[in-house]
Amino acid sequence: WSRDWRLGSGTSGKILGPSSSPSSLMNLSRKLLGQHLFEKLMKMTFYGHFVAGEDQEAIKPLIQRNHAFGVGSVLDYSVEEDLTPEEAERKEMDSCTSASEKKTGGAGHREKQYLAHRGFGDRRDKVISARTYFYADETKCDQHMETFLRCIEASGGSSEDSFSAIKLTALGRPQFLLQFSEVLMKWRKFFHQMAAEQGKAGLAVMETRLEVKKLQETLANLGIATKAESQHWFTGEDLGVSGTVDLLDWNSLIDNRTKLSKLLLVPNTKTGQLEPLLSHFTEEEDLQMKRMLQRMDVLATRALKLGVRLMVDAEQTYFQPAISRLTLEMQRKFNMEKAVIFNTFQCYLKEAYDNVTMDMELSRREGWHFGAKLVRGAYLEQERARAAQIGYEDPLNPTYEETNEMYQRCLDYVLEEIKYSQKVKVMVASHNEDTVKFTIRRMAELGIHPSENKVYFGQLLGMCDQITFPLGKCLCPRREGVGCLSHHYLFADLVWQYLCPHWPGFRSSDAPLWWNCWLL
């Protein structure tokens, strides 16, 4: 059972943890106490509670101590650059706008959602529990990569079966993520438009299949490609053999063998004109894109070598299609023997279930190991405000209850697959007690024993100790020499009620140990 540990580098700037105190209070405390006393106070209280340590050596005692209670670690670098909102906005606008758009002064054919907007240039606004990186230059991206490498090495050296987390916006120019996300969204939208023309609108995503002959006729009528030109599109080993093409087949037309800067044309439904999916990159932009992919490869290679699972964090919806696709390509390469790369699925998205089922189906077809981290989502307030102000459809589920339903639907789908497959693992990243209890109950009903190490639970360090430590003690082997402090948590009782009746080997005499986590 894993925790999301923070690696901090000091207390100047923000408190480094899952939630930041108001900057005004921080500044006042620093003025009243002075820098030396301020740092001591922070390390004894907020910083000490939410941050594992300042470097690889500092975190080891805490990791090892909690490992004794069955709690593993997810190392995550949490330091943010101390920028003013104006500086953040300037950096964002500069790094998310292509050279051609700067030259022409606009991007008339671009979708609103996938354009940088000055009012939302500071991506830290209304976001508490997620780190934010702003692009400066390629040297800074290399420095972030080196930091992530140190986190991976610290994970591999501190405990077995460990995780480390990375963000792709730290590894390259975000302009590429924006443009590639738009490519993928338009490509998928085009598929559904053609499905509607074939009378197949409204079907579940994996049940929607296009007839190849009709598809080729449509492409020819639109002037995208003649039948002869499109013939080679559907000649793969399995592609189109059945006479139909599903969304996975369609997506495979843009894969790691395709030059991403190659022009792809689709009709704009508003103008009726054919438009390029991806604008031409300058030579420097093309190099920046390739460097981002190279950094991802370096990190995944090191994680595989050290036996560390690498979780790619989810980010804002206008970056996420590209992030998910690039993570998928990493999984296809590095997850052949075991689940090394974990993709993150945000269940507050309306399309979360479609995303999970498509990736799972692709892993089945190609035979690689599927690793998923399920979260509700960290950017809700920002995403809603951006969609409303800029004028595109809100990508999030309308209510918290619907998000909960989506989370359980996605989770249940993955757990059902785990029952029958040795190639699926999931991290239930949630502070919600009902979600954890639902997972434990479904594991018992499906016969998924904790010793199989297919299901992990994750909480932020210091946020929900009443969930984390009872889980670690209940579901991991009992360890000798573990002391006990008499602090009883109701949640531990509830967890325990699900364990004893269902799983042989768990006896009432093995009842979990409870303690006050503040005293650890």
The one-letter code for the residue type at 388 is A
Query: pTM value?
Result: 0.83
Which residue from 340, 251, 256, 339 is spatially nearest to 293, judged by alpha carbons? 256
Sorted by sequence, the CB contacts under 8 Å of residue 121 that are 6+ apart come out as 88, 89, 90, 91, 92, 93
CA torsion 427-430-433-436 (nearest 10°) is: -10
What tokens were used for 498?
């699900």
- What is the 8-class DSSP label of residue 53? B
Helices 433-446 and 465-475: angle between axes, nearest 10 degrees: 20
CB-based contact 435:463 (threshold 8 Å):
no
CB-based contact 445:434 (threshold 8 Å):
no
Strands 424-429 and 265-267: unpaired
Cα dist from 313 to 125, 164, 167, 279, 294, whole Å:
18, 10, 5, 27, 18
What tokens were used for 89?
């906005």
Calculate ∠ Cα 474-479-484, nearest 5°. 75
CB-based contact 419:142 (threshold 8 Å):
no
- Distance between CA atoms of 16 and 77, rounded to whole angstroms? 9
- What is the 8-class DSSP label of residue 510? G
Q: What is the 3-state secondary structure (H, E, C) of 17-32?
A: CCCCCCHHHHHHHHHH
Beta-bridge partners for 499: none
Instruction: Give the sign of the dihedral formed by CA 326, CA 332, CA 338, CA 344.
Output: positive
Distance of CA 170 to the CA centre of its chain: 13
Tokens 């972030």, located at residue: 144
pLDDT in tens, the chain (520 residues): 444 544 443 322 222 333 344 567 777 878 888 887 877 777 777 766 677 777 777 777 777 777 777 788 887 776 677 789 999 999 999 999 887 777 766 666 678 899 999 999 999 998 877 889 999 999 999 999 999 998 898 888 766 678 999 999 999 999 999 988 988 888 888 888 889 888 888 888 888 999 988 888 887 877 777 777 777 777 665 555 578 888 888 887 765 444 433 445 666 656 656 666 665 667 888 788 889 999 999 999 999 999 999 999 999 999 999 999 999 999 999 999 999 999 999 999 999 999 999 999 999 999 999 999 999 999 999 999 999 999 999 999 999 999 999 999 999 999 999 999 999 999 999 989 899 999 999 999 999 988 888 999 988 887 777 788 778 776 654 443 333 232 333 444 545 555 555 555 444 344 333 332 222 2
What tokens were used for 420?
């029958």
Beta-bridge partners for 266: 275
DSSP string covering 159-214: -SS-EEEE-GGGSS-HHHHHHHHHHHHHHHHHHHHHHHHTT-TTS-GGG-EEEHHH
- Distance between CA atoms of 457 and 431, rounded to whole angstroms? 9
